[in-house]
Amino acid sequence: PLVTGTFPIQFRVTDSRGVHAFKNLMLKVIARPLVVITTSELPRGTTGISYNNSFSAEGGVPLYTWKIASGALPDGVTMSSYGLLSGTPSLAGIFSFAVRVGDQDGKTTTKDFMISVDQAPVLSPVPSSSSSPVSFLCCATKSAFGFPSWIHIREVFGPSGA
């Protein structure tokens, strides 16, 4: 059923001689429990890089409304009432928060989440002679998870003796 509520129904029973019996009853249709199905482990973010992630729920009575129940999102990231996180994080760190979703029947549920935001690497030009290519020194902190996926190192140039 797509609609919750209490509905009248009528049962009709017929025996082998063709005799009918009727019984009027009320059928109560209830929604499945409302649950957030988005996993607690959200994708990592990087300062200065656009971040987008959406939350999902099931059960209850759609349409769902989303909000931050407690904690804080990274600066520069907001959450829409449709459950979309978006924006550009401006500070690195680990951000913990709880998301609350509500359905059309007024039922709510809350789930805790965490976003890790890495600091974007800083590129600094290294003086070079006019005959050599411009070089950059890259300073980034490598976490236990490695460098952000958008960093690709092909060649390393540095001053002589470095």
- Give per-residue pLDDT as tens, 80-106: 999 999 999 999 999 999 999 999 989
The pLDDT-based confidence of 135 (bands split at 50, 70, 90) is low
Global pTM value = 0.64
Query: Sorting pLDDT into bands at 50, 70 and 90, what band is 162?
Result: very low
Q: How many of the other CB atoms lie within 10 Å of CB of 85?
A: 24
- Are 36 and 57 spatial neighbours (Cβ–Cβ below 8 Å)? yes
Share of the chain above pLDDT 70, in %: 74
**Sheet with 84-87, side-by-side order of all strands:** 51-54, 84-87, 77-79
For 90, the token pair is 């401006």
Kindly state the helix (H) or strand (E) to which residue 120 belongs, with its residue range: none
C-alpha closest to that of 137 among 151, 158, 116: 158
Q: Name, in order, each residue with C-beta under 8 angstroms of 99's C-beta and a sequence gap of 6 or more.
A: 36, 55, 66, 67, 68, 69, 79, 83, 110, 111, 113
pLDDT 10s digits, 27-82 = 988 878 899 998 888 999 999 999 999 999 999 888 999 999 999 999 999 999 99
Question: Rounded distance, CA 121 to CA 141, Å?
Answer: 8
Structure tokens at 11: 């049962």
pLDDT in tens, 136-160: 555 555 554 555 555 555 555 555 5
Q: What DSSP designation does 49 have?
A: S
